Structure 1
Amino acid sequence: MATTTTTTTASQQSNAKPGMRKPVFTKVDQLKPGTTGHTLTVKVVSSNTVLQKGRAASQHLRQTRIAECLVGDETGTIVFTARNDQVDLMRAGTTVILRNAKIDMFKGSMRLAVDKWGRVEVTEPANFVVNEDNNLSLVEYELVNVVEE
């Protein structure tokens, strides 16, 4: 009785490993509180610097900058909180791709943010018109405790 054994080499195993998967793009109107991992293509409608502190002359202390930017697509708009180097990329009229974005809650309303695990990339201008009538950051949410009986 002959038995056959199959062996896989290291090169065969590495070929079986899946590569990077394609991003699934989310529309602004699909965003919900407390969710993470969103990839969006949005246009910057406006940008407003709300905090700028620290000394630029000091080498070891980095200047902290925060800007609130209204971004959106054809389904709606939301406020994006840009930090430090992201502030320079978020100019009105620019189209950006936000990778691994998350929803933060600030005073009961949604804010879109990209932390150190995400990325903000400037891309070619998109051919959609931003729907400014549906601003998701104007919707107030309230945390409610549900008691199960």
Structure 2
Amino acid sequence: MAESKPGLRKPTFTKVDQLRPGTSGHTLTVKVVSTKMVLQKGRADGPQVRQMRIAECLVGDETGLIIFTARNDQGHVGWYYTFEPQIMRGMVVKGEPALAHLGGSKARRSPLVLVDLMKEGSTVILRNAKIDMFKGSMRLAVDKWGRVEVTEPADFTVKEDNNLSLIEYELVNVVEE
């Protein structure tokens, strides 16, 4: 008899107000309220092929808000093509385009990264997210073991008066005698 493999666990979805410092393994469905680029190094047309981009996105659900740090080094989700001399743009999420040249023009390929997915108003599912601490406040992040998926719009209204990133935490060591 063949051994039966254990089935995949169903994800348990967490609400924003249940997040605590130092925790990980969260799966959340959130809406992107705002996005702000905080670091951008390198140029797409410069000698440095890889750009470093970090965006802070305010995300939330019906229970509250938290800042999500989106980094482009979390892996690309597809390719972004620019065709020259005409400026034509196309996106291929899986695989390569059938033609590398369009009308005799050269195609330039750049990675489409997580920072590009976090658009205001979009709904995303964050899988295996963790809480990082930055200057005493909580930040939500997804590392290389996590995943960000754009999904269909959620039917909840974001509660904007409960921002968990505004709460300042302090680590206190208790010495037992």
* Same-fold call, TM cutoff 0.5: yes
Q: Separation in 2 of the partners of 1:59 and 1:80?
A: 30
More helix by share: 1
1:147 equivalent to 2:175? Answer yes
1:27 maps to 15
Partner of 2:150: 122
For residues 124 and 35 of structure 1, the distance between their equivalents in structure 2, rounded to whole angstroms, comes to 27
State the match for 1:56 in structure 2: 44
1:2-17 correspondence runs (5 A): 9=1, 11=2, 13=3, 15=4, 17=5
Distance in 2, Cα, partners of 1:90 & 1:37: 20
Report deviation, 1:80. 0.2
2:24 alignment partner, SS class: coil
What is aligned with 2:70?
Answer: 82
By percentage of residues, which structure has more strand?
2
Residues 59, 38 of structure 1: alpha-carbon distance in 2 compared, 3 angstrom cutoff: farther
Provide the C-alpha distance between the structure 1 equivalents of 2:50 and 2:168, rounded to a whole number of angstroms: 34
The structural deviation recorded for 1:61 is: 4.2
Q: Sequence identity, in percent?
A: 80
4+ residue stretches of structure 1 with deviation over 4 A? 58-61
* 1:55 CA drift (Å): 3.3
TM-score (norm 2): 0.74
Q: Aligned letter for 1:50?
A: V
Partner of 1:137: 165
Unmatched 5+ residue regions in structure 1?
1-8
Supply the distance in 1 between the matched residues of 2:48 and 2:147 (Cα, whole angstroms): 24
Q: CA deviation at 1:58?
A: 5.6
Please say if 1:99 is aligned against 2:123: no
Deviation at 1:19, TM superposition (A): 1.5
Quick one: distance in 1 between partners of 2:47 and 2:147?
Answer: 25
From the superposition, tell whether residues 90 and 33 of structure 1 become closer, same or farther in structure 2 (CA, over 3 Å): same
Residue matched to 1:3: none
What is the rounded CA distance, in whole Å, between the counterparts of 1:114 and 1:58 in structure 2? 28
The correspondence for 1:66, drawn from 54, 75, 91, is 54
- SS of the residue 2:116 aligns to: helix
**RCO comparison, higher one (Cα < 8 Å, 6+):** 2
How far, CA to CA, are the matches of 1:59 and 1:96 in structure 2? 33
Larger Rg over CA atoms: 1
Report the count of equivalent residues: 137
Structure 2 gaps of 5+ residues are 73-112
Instruction: Render the CA deviation track for 1:6-46: whole Å, top value 9, x for unaligned.
Output: xxx3x1x1x2x211111000000000000000000000000
